[in-house]
């Protein structure tokens, strides 16, 4: 009976040690994935901020006017060239 008890104790010790090692490995893997996600988030925030800045720059009325005049060759209309349409007119 004593030998059976020793084998059982060794088996239980082996199982518990294996579970502790497995738990540690899983914790380290989770920490690695969390860190990778945090780094990706920081990168995505930088990209978002750059896009917002670019959007603000391109949407500025002075910038639109500059592109229209210099790149597209457009120019401002004279008051006599303008046609005003009121709401409800046929």
pLDDT attached to residue 79: 85
CA separation for the pair 87, 90 (Å, rounded): 9
| Pairwise CA distance, residues 58 & 64, whole Å | 7
90 pLDDT higher than 90: no
Q: How confident is the model at residue 38 (pLDDT cuts 50, 70, 90)?
A: very high
Residue 48 has what pLDDT? 97
Length of the chain: 90
Among the listed residues 77, 50, 52, 48, the one whose alpha carbon sits nearest the alpha carbon of residue 65: 77
Its pTM stands at: 0.53
User: Is 59 within 8 Å of 53 (Cβ atoms)?
Assistant: no
């Amino acid at each position: 009976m004593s030998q059976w008890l020793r084998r059982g104790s060794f088996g239980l010790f082996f199982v518990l040690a294996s579970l502790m090692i497995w738990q540690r490995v899983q914790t380290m893997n989770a920490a690695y994935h969390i860190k990778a996600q945090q780094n990706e988030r920081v990168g995505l925030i930088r990209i978002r901020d750059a896009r917002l800045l670019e959007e603000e720059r391109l949407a500025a009325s002075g910038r639109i006017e500059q592109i229209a005049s210099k790149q597209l060759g457009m120019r401002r209309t004279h008051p006599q060239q303008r046609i005003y349409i009121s709401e409800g007119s046929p």
